[in-house]
């Protein structure tokens, strides 16, 4: 990863680790692949909404960045005031972030991105930051074209994180742009692994990943709420019902991730012949439970494609 002349090189391992698996669908690394590294560069955030806060909180918690080396910008103090309590420098001037930082996270709303970039000043020739976009709908080709007005051959990474990154249980998929280097890939994986699961995927899979992992937490929150409502209907106190619902979802997810069994097998192991669970599963099937989830992922992915075509 190339930083400017005032910064030192990121510490990184010499080779791609054996624990990583490389397939034709992308590169997946485990959390233990890279050492935790302190990023010696200045890190910038343009936009400070929920997703930016989730990422930054995770980076600081895992001690990957020194808060004093972070600069965040937003048009108002609504979110910036919170970041200042973390020790982060803030500004209302996006140009300060672009000029002073070596890794820049673009976290603005999709409809604001082009206007924001058009208002930035051209960078000096010896300053070529790594731009990391979390903006939905903008593909690498478009991002590179837009950012080329600021710097020649911009180094761009497109990412798709989700909000559980705030508690270190997120997913973050990323794909590398034309002008990035293998060192950028190693650095991105080391940084983004701090949010939970991290994987490099081909760009054509990004919209599907958005429909599943990007929007997915909302589906699960709705499921937890509905399960808790069911518990309340059948006589449980609200707080207990909500805790049981959330813990049940967490436990089931952990079983899938740690046991390596297919979800259908795990489901079958709960369904005793003639028991309560198989009766419940029949009710879910009659009400289109699985069809509803498949359709939700499809709808979100298609909307992500629409956002890209509406630019």
Q: What are phi and psi of 106, to 5 degrees?
A: -95, 110
Contact present, 259 and 269 (Cβ < 8 Å): no
Contact present, 135 and 113 (Cβ < 8 Å): yes
β partners of residue 70? 43
Neighbouring residues of 131: CB distance < 8 A, sequence distance ≥ 6: 104, 106, 143, 147, 154, 155, 156, 157
- Please report, for residues 178, 216, 281, the alpha-carbon distance to residue 297 in angstroms, rounded to integers and kept in the order given: 29, 8, 21
- Measured from the Cβ of residue 60, the count of other Cβ atoms closer than 10 Å reads 18
- Please report, for residues 58, 103, 149, 253, 254, the alpha-carbon distance to residue 14 in angstroms, rounded to integers and kept in the order given: 25, 21, 34, 34, 32
Contact present, 181 and 211 (Cβ < 8 Å): no
Check whether 79 is labelled as a binding-site residue.
no
- Please report, for residues 25, 108, 118, 289, the alpha-carbon distance to residue 98 in angstroms, rounded to integers and kept in the order given: 33, 14, 13, 46
Structure tokens belonging to residue 97: 């972030």
**How far, rounded to the nearest angstrom, does the alpha carbon of residue 136 sit from its chain's CA centroid?**
11
β partners of residue 46? 73, 106
- Give binding residues for NADPH as ranges: 94
- Give binding residues as ranges: 94
């Amino acid at each position: 990863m190339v930083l400017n002349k005032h910064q030192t090189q990121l510490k990184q391992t010499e080779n791609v680790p054996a624990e990583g698996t490389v397939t034709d669908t992308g590169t997946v690394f485990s959390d233990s692949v890279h050492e935790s590294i302190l990023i010696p560069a200045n890190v910038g955030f343009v936009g400070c909404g929920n997703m930016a806060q989730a990422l930054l909180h995770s980076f600081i918690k895992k001690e990957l960045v020194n808060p004093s080396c972070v600069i965040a910008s937003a048009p108002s103090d609504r979110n910036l005031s919170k970041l200042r309590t973390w020790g982060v420098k803030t500004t209302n001037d996006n140009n300060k972030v672009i000029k002073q930082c070596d890794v820049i996270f673009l976290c603005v709303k999709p409809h604001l991105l082009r206007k924001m970039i058009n208002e930035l000043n051209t960078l000096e020739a010896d300053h070529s930051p790594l731009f990391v976009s979390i903006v939905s709908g903008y593909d690498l080709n478009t991002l590179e074209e837009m950012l080329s007005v600021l710097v020649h051959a911009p180094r761009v990474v497109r990412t798709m994180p989700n909000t559980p990154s705030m508690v270190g249980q997120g997913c973050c998929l990323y794909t590398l742009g034309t002008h990035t280097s293998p060192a950028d890939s190693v650095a991105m994986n080391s940084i983004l692994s701090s949010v939970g699961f991290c994987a490099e995927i081909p760009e054509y899979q990004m919209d599907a990943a958005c429909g599943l992992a990007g929007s997915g937490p909302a589906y699960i929150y709705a499921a937890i709420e509905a399960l808790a409502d069911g518990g309340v209907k059948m006589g449980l106190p609200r707080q207990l019902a909500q805790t049981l619902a959330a813990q049940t979802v967490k436990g089931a997810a952990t079983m899938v991730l740690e046991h390596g069994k297919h979800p259908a097998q795990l489901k079958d192991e709960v369904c005793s012949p003639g028991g309560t669970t198989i009766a419940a599963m029949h009710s879910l099937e009659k009400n289109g439970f699985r069809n509803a989830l498949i359709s939700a992922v499809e709808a979100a992915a298609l909307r992500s494609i629409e956002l890209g075509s509406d630019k």
